[in-house]
Amino acid sequence: PAASKTIAVNGRDISIPTGLFINGEFVEALGHGQFSVEDPSTGKQILSISEGQPEDVDVAVKAARKALKDAAWASSDPTYRSKLLNKLADLLEENIEDIVHLECADTGKTYRQCRNSDLPDTVETLRYYAGWTDKVLGQTNFTIPETFAYTRREPIGVCGQIIPWNYPLLMFVWKIAPALATGNTVVIKSAETTPLSALKVCEYIAQAGFPPGTVNLVSGFGKTVGSAIAHHMDIDKLAFTGSTATGRFILKASALSNLKKVTLELGGKGPNIIFPDADLDEAVEWSAWGINMNFGQTCHAGTRIYIHEEIYDRFLEKFTERMRKVNVGHPFDQSTDQGPVNSKMQYNKILGYIESGKAEGAELHLGGEAIDKSGGYYILPTIFTNVSPNMKIVREEIFGPVVVISRFSTESEVIALANDTNYGLAAGVHTKDYERAVRVTGALQAGTTWVNMYSFVHWRVPFGGYKESGIGRELGDAALESYTNAKAVYFNM
Ligand code: NAD
């Protein structure tokens, strides 16, 4: 068995298992490698943990396969699976402070966001899928002469799951909850910059009493562990959340291996449209939330704001004032609205985009620079105006606190501008004219659209992308479909 370590986070001692979680216990990686996890608010190492490799993925897949069959997880009583998922939710609630502390130290998220939003959403997502276990039913069909047919929904089998660093815990649960509810087993890889909360949750998975092998966590890097999961010949389904570039790689890996079923939740470049009849103060508040939530490190962030020319100056002034008030500070400070971005790589990438915006002739209206706070990766909220549709800052996902603002005059013009992107994850419309709201949301090519709000995602409603933002849907009942195969049974009557 692998070691655990106790670390101090903001004055709180927390023990954290440092091994891989395979077959119900924490084990050392076969190669005994370790990698370092750092705190983005200081750039300093928090601790080092076991680094998985492809051979560890093999062991994890064997355990997951065994749990499916020998431990009869796939055919287990749905009530049993429901109880376990609810038990896990209870354990997360009981230990909420430890998990929130780990998540903040690992990601740079604010304590407030994590405690009031990420963690409650995580717990509710578990409970929601706990409620579904006995409701995933097939259909009967008597419409075919001399034939009776029915369908049953069967678990797909061993699911590989790969998650990003922006919502480590929430993504972990978005992935495992519907998979387990429907009787699948899981081999999951956390992101290399944010592996801690998943390790801690695996401790609770063991405590809750999930049979060994139902959930296996192999921490490590994309090119090794991620790629091994994507290419594995004995993984039946792969659910991936991350960048569009890696999503292409995943799809190709499936094609080159065993054609495992693939769902992809990828990047975005969300348009957020403000019509002249919108409630300006409300629209400002939601637009600020659209970019401030998780400091722009959100796939559905509202990063392109389109303002009608009649209200352009007024909106911009109010919005700028609002963004000026964003308090950039330490994640554990209660008055902080925005912490450091997640990693040095991300920090450099965002600053690179800010430079490119300036070089391409956009006007830097607010922010645009890093601030120095004890070595952490802090970047000021940034607004660019005078942008044109072909600039990199308008086309590419920056994944940081940077928003670009454009002016429009007609509805058809703004629909064309909003849809002028390879992405299609989310979009917002602000107007009091409900006919317009229905018309424009209908015309926007995005998997999620909001009217008079932005960046609101609920576990009961399907979430996913149009175009290059993904394939398939997570959350709601849609996720249950993506974790089951429909089997048709015909009777000759
Ligand atoms: P990323 O694609 O670099 O990494 C995501 C995960 O994939 C990580 O665990 C990483 O280790 C792994 N990975 C990297 N290369 C791999 C490879 N060759 N094979 C297998 N796995 C590999 O993305 P990121 O920078 O960590 O995350 C940010 C991206 O995630 C953004 O584009 C964001 O929009 C997207 N995202 C999308 C959603 C959504 O639901 N649509 C949610 C959150 C984040």
38-61, pLDDT tens digit by residue? Answer: 999 999 999 999 999 999 999 999
Phi-psi region of 72 (alpha: psi -120 to 50; beta: other; left: phi over 0): left
Residue pair 417/271 in contact (Cβ under 8 Å)? The answer is: yes
The DSSP bridge pattern shows strands 20-22 and 25-27 to be antiparallel
As a whole number, the mean pLDDT across the chain is 97
Q: What is the pLDDT of residues 426-473, one digit of tens each?
A: 999 999 999 999 999 999 999 999 999 999 999 999 999 999 999 999
For 54-81, what is the mean pLDDT?
95
Residue indicated by tokens 């009869």: 72
**Ligand 1 site, residue 464, Cβ cutoff 6 A:** no
2 confidence band (pLDDT: 50, 70, 90): confident
**Ligand 1 site, residue 425, Cβ cutoff 6 A:** yes
Question: In angstroms, what CA-CA distances link 395 with 156, 226, 419, 420?
Answer: 37, 27, 11, 9
Tokens matching residue 333: 């400070």
- The CA distance from 368 to 384, in Å, is 9
Percent of the chain scoring above 90 in pLDDT? 98
Q: What is the pLDDT of residues 407-434, one digit of tens each?
A: 999 999 999 999 999 999 999 999 999 9
- The CA distance from 170 to 333, in Å, is 22
For 162-179, what is the mean pLDDT?
98
pLDDT tops 80 at residue 209: yes
Q: Give the 3-state secondary structure percentages of the chain, helix then strand then coil, rounded to 5.
A: 40, 25, 35
- What is the secondary structure of 165-190 as a DSSP string? SSSHHHHHHHHHHHHHHTT-EEEEE-
pLDDT value of residue 414: 98
**Ligand 1 site, residue 468, Cβ cutoff 6 A:** no
Query: Which of 121, 166, 172 is the best mutation target for the ligand 1 pocket, counting ligand atoms within 8 Å of the beta carbon and taking the most?
Result: 166
For 192-206, what is the mean pLDDT?
98
Residue 491 exposed, middle or buried by CB count within 10 Å (0-12, 13-18, 19+)? exposed
pLDDT value of residue 69: 87
Percent of the chain scoring above 70 in pLDDT? 100
Does residue 159 have an active-site annotation?
no
- The CA distance from 355 to 388, in Å, is 16
Q: What is the pLDDT of residues 114-133, one digit of tens each?
A: 999 999 999 999 999 999 99
Helical spans, DSSP H, in 325-376: 344-359
Residue pair 273/297 in contact (Cβ under 8 Å)? The answer is: no
3 confidence band (pLDDT: 50, 70, 90): confident
The protein residue with its alpha carbon nearest to ligand 1, atom 39, reads: 265
Residue indicated by tokens 């809750």: 208
Q: Which atom of ligand 1 is nearest the CA belonging to 189?
A: 9
For 205-234, what is the mean pLDDT?
98
For 155-168, what is the mean pLDDT?
98
Q: Which amino acid is at 39?
A: D
Tokens matching residue 342: 């997640």
For 67-91, what is the mean pLDDT?
95
Element (H, E) at 415: helix 411-419
pLDDT tops 90 at residue 71: no
pLDDT value of residue 268: 98
Q: What is the pLDDT of residues 258-285, one digit of tens each?
A: 999 999 999 999 999 999 999 999 999 9
349 confidence band (pLDDT: 50, 70, 90): very high
pLDDT value of residue 372: 87
Residue pair 158/61 in contact (Cβ under 8 Å)? The answer is: yes
- The CA distance from 219 to 13, in Å, is 22
Q: What b-and-e string marks burial along 135-171, b requiring 16 or more CB atoms within 10 Å of the CB?
A: ebebeeeeeeeeeebeeebbbbbbbbbbbbbbbbbbb
Q: Which residue in 265, 397, 468, 474 is the catalytic one?
A: 265
pLDDT value of residue 70: 79
Query: Which of 35, 166, 246 is the best mutation target for the ligand 1 pocket, counting ligand atoms within 8 Å of the beta carbon and taking the most?
Result: 246
Q: Which atom of ligand 1 is nearest the CA belonging to 469?
A: 41
Question: In angstroms, what CA-CA distances link 75 with 45, 151, 416?
Answer: 44, 16, 49
The protein residue with its alpha carbon nearest to ligand 1, atom 40, reads: 265
Q: Which atom of ligand 1 is nearest the CA belonging to 268?
A: 34
pLDDT tops 90 at residue 106: yes
Does residue 265 have an active-site annotation?
yes
ipTM of the complex: 0.95
Q: What is the pLDDT of residues 359-388, one digit of tens each?
A: 999 999 999 999 988 899 999 999 999 999
